[in-house]
């Protein structure tokens, strides 16, 4: 779960780059970039959830 | 406010008076670093105080050396125009082209030297942000290793993209997006990057023992010295004024006449944030919370890093109020709902404060398309740098274990790593939270 979220996040970055190249007009470009940010936020939420599940009581990854 | 940004292009050289002023302002900027270091110490526990402050100093040293020897090579353009990829008919300047070990910096123009000095101070500030989040469990060696990774690999890449003609700075020229991504005092390059680094460090290192017991709520582990925390906030204000004014002059080419308003906006944003956090904590808990108010003040300063040079006073105040409302609520959500153990609140303060400032800068900037440029910058840092930081720290943790052993955490980092406490004449009480 934690890695899945972090793998999704760069996809959002590439979507924002694609928006710059593909849409010269402001409105569709803004909408597409907002969608890219939404993808990143979904990835972040999945990563956060993944780290919550991995931490039963007080055990961290570093231990 | 008079627009001080223009569509990105060759920036005219600064007048001599501005160079002298910027140098004086950058001499003040280390006070921001000192303030954040004091806050990091005060928000940790008394049995780790000396290790925490020494850690801040070793991290700053490592970051400065790493950036001077290698990082500046990727962040600056002293040796050429930079490494450029041509994609979709546009040039994407993705890596700086400077000399290793800062060879020849003495022959560069005073303005170029000032820009490198600014980046030096910025990398030191960025590197100590994750240290506060890893308080009471990160080894000194881990703190320095994290600083090395940040100063050699990660920060230089972003600093070049944002400040020294990289592709984010060129969004205005290449794609008509305002003046390109604007971040005059490091809201993105320092604070958003530092806040995301802090999140990655906390994920890799784990929480403090006893913080999240198997049953019940998270254990409260308050900071040990509210005076350090609040005094750190006051010192940080002076340093922030230095960063914001010098950044506006260096990266936005702001005229001298625009700098007093930038200073005023910086203080207004911090003041608005403190007032909002004070009110929120008073309503929530019946009394204002000193450490959360400090976090709110700092979040306001972080937000001002992006917006103080661009906004008028009233929007600047509103940005501070927004940062001050979000900060205490997000600190609570991270600790209670998401089980993120962040003793200094750095993830909230630096990441969310920076996001608020960057978005406000896009909304209020006087150029069309600026909001798009700000969104692309945010998407880049969040989508590319958080996974990169996590990956790098996971690998680093294999070679330099981040976390101290359980016995070290029990007796405190001072005794374990330094052999003596910060307050030897004080009686240290048993910590009931450790179970």
List pLDDT tens digits, range B130-168: 999 999 999 999 999 999 999 999 999 999 999 999 999
Q: Cβ distance B341 to B333 under 8 Å?
A: no
Return the structure tokens found at B211.
């913080």
d(CA B256, CA B4): 10
CA pseudo-torsion sign B384, B388, B389, B390: positive
The interface predicted TM-score (ipTM) is: 0.91
| Cβ neighbour number for residue B210 with a 10 Å cutoff | 18
Which among A26, A60, A61 is the nearest to B372, CB-wise? Answer: A26
The span from the CA of B386 to the CA of B130, in Å, is 13
Which pLDDT band holds residue B8 (cuts at 50, 70, 90)?
A: low
The residues near B314 (Cβ < 8 Å, ≥ 6 apart) are none
Whole-number Å distance between alpha carbons of B166 and B77: 10
Backbone angles phi, psi at B342, to 5 degrees: -125, 85
**Binding-face residues of A in 16-55 toward B, CB within 8 A:** 16-17, 19-21, 24, 26, 29-30, 33-34, 36-37, 39-40, 43-44, 48, 51-52, 55
Tens of pLDDT along A1-57?
A: 778 999 999 999 999 999 999 999 999 999 999 999 999 999 999 999 998 855 554
Of B206, B368, B380, the CB nearest to A61: B206
Convert the pLDDT of each residue in B228-257 to its tens digit: 999 999 999 999 999 999 999 999 999 999
Question: What is the pLDDT of chain B when averaged over all its residues?
Answer: 93
For residue A9, tell me if it sits in a domain. Answer: yes
> What is the number of domains present in chain A?
1
CA quadruple B214, B138, B338, A3: dihedral, nearest 10: -110
Burial of B152 (0-12, 13-18, 19+ CB in 10 A): buried
Q: Is residue B11 part of a domain?
A: no
Residue B426 belongs to a domain = no
Residues of A in contact with B397 (CB under 8 A): 61-62
Q: Identify the residue among A14, A19, A20 best suited for mutation to test binding to B, counting B beta carbons within 10 A and taking the highest.
A: A20
Task: Kindly write down the DSSP assignment for every residue of B28-95, as one continuous string.
Answer: HTHHHHHHHHHHHHHHS-GGGHHHHHHHHHHHHHHHHHHIIIIIHHHH--TTSS-EEEEETTEEEEEE
Q: Nearest-CA neighbor of B135 among B203, B44, B200, B232?
A: B44
Would B380 be classed as within a structural domain?
yes
Number of domains, chain B: 1
- The angle subtended at Cα B313 by Cα B309 and Cα B317, nearest 5°, is 100
> Does some domain include residue A24?
yes
Three-class secondary structure assignment of B211-237: CCCCCCCCCCCCCCCHHHHHHHHHHHH
Tell me the C-alpha distance between B129 and B302, whole Å. 12
- Which pLDDT tens digit goes with each residue over B93-130? 999 998 889 998 889 999 999 999 999 999 999 999 99
Considering the domain boundaries, does residue A59 fall inside one? Answer: no
Interface of B with A (CB under 8 A): 87-88, 90, 137, 171, 175-177, 203-214, 338-340, 368-369, 371-372, 375-376, 378-380, 382-384, 386-387, 390-391, 397, 401-403, 406
What would the pLDDT profile of B169-190 be if each residue is shown by its tens digit? 999 999 999 999 999 999 999 9
With CB atoms and an 8 Å threshold, state whether A48 touches B386.
Answer: no
CB B69 within 8 A of CB B123: no
Q: Is B1 contained in some domain?
A: no
Contact of B137 with B52, CB cutoff 8 Å: no
What letter does residue B349 receive in the DSSP assignment?
A: I
Structural domain including B228 reads 16-418
**In terms of residues, how long is chain A?**
63
Distances (CA, A) of B101 to B110, B150, B243, B284: 18, 17, 25, 52
Instruction: Read off the pLDDT of residues B275-304 as tens digits, 9 standing for 90 and up.
Output: 999 999 999 999 999 999 999 999 999 999
Sheet strands (E) in chain A: none
Query: What's the token pair of residue A22?
Result: 């593909």
Torsion angle of alpha carbons B287, B288, B292, B298, nearest 10°?
A: 180
- CATH number of the CATH domain containing B386: 1.10.3430.10
Question: In this predicted structure, what is the pLDDT of residue B182?
Answer: 94
Comparing alpha-carbon positions, the chain A residue that sits nearest to B389 is: A6
What's the domain range around A21?
2-53
Does B2 fall in a domain? Answer: no
> Mapping DSSP to helix (H, G, I), strand (E, B) and coil, where does residue B403 land?
strand
B84 in a structural domain: yes
Is residue A61 one of the residues assigned to a domain?
no
Quote the pTM value.
0.95
């Amino acid at each position: 779960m934690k890695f899945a979220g972090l793998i999704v996040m760069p996809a959002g970055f590439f979507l924002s780059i694609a928006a710059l190249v593909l849409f010269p007009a402001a409105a569709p470009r803004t909408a597409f970039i907002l969608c890219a940010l939404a993808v990143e936020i979904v990835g972040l939420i999945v990563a956060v959830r993944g780290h919550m599940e991995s931490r039963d009581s007080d055990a961290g990854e570093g231990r | 406010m008079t627009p001080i940004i223009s569509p990105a292009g060759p920036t005219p050289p600064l007048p001599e008076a501005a160079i002298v002023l910027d140098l004086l302002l950058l001499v003040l900027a280390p006070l921001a670093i000192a303030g954040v270091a004091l806050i990091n110490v005060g928000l940790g526990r008394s049995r780790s105080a000396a290790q925490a402050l020494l850690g801040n100093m070793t991290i700053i040293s490592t970051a400065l050396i790493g950036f001077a020897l290698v990082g500046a090579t990727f962040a600056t353009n002293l040796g050429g125009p930079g490494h450029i990829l041509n994609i979709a008919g546009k040039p994407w300047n993705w890596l700086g082209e400077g000399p290793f070990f800062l060879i020849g910096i003495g022959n560069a123009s005073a303005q170029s030297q000032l820009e490198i000095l600014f980046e030096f101070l910025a990398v030191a500030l960025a590197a100590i942000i994750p240290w506060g989040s890893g308080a009471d469990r990160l080894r000194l060696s881990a703190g320095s290793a994290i600083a090395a990774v940040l100063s050699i690999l990660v920060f230089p890449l972003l600093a070049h993209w944002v400040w020294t003609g990289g592709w984010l700075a060129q969004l205005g020229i290449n794609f008509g997006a305002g003046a390109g991504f604007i971040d005059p005092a490091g809201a993105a390059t320092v604070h958003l990057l530092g806040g995301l680094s802090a999140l990655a460090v906390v994920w890799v290192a784990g929480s403090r023992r006893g913080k999240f017991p198997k049953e019940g709520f998270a254990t409260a582990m308050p900071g040990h010295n509210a005076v350090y925390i609040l005094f750190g906030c006051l010192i940080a204000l002076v340093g922030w004024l230095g960063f914001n004014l010098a950044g506006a002059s260096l990266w936005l080419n702001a005229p001298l006449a625009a700098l007093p308003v930038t200073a005023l906006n910086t203080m207004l944003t911090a003041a608005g944030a403190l007032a909002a956090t004070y009110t929120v904590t008073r309503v929530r808990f019946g009394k204002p919370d000193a450490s959360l108010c400090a976090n709110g003040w700092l979040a306001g300063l972080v937000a001002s890093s992006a917006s103080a040079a661009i906004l008028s006073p009233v929007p600047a105040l509103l940005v501070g109020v927004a940062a001050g409302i979000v900060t205490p609520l997000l600190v609570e959500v991270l600790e209670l709902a998401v089980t993120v153990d962040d003793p200094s609140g750095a993830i909230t303060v630096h990441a969310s404060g920076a996001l608020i400032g960057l978005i406000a800068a896009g909304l209020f900037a006087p150029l069309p398309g600026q909001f798009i440029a700000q969104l692309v910058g945010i998407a880049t840092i969040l989508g590319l740098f958080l996974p990169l930081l996590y990956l790098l720290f996971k690998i680093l943790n294999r070679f330099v274990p981040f976390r101290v052993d359980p016995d070290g955490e029990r007796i405190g980092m001072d005794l374990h790593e330094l052999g003596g406490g910060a307050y030897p004449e004080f009686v240290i009480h048993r910590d009931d939270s450790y179970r």
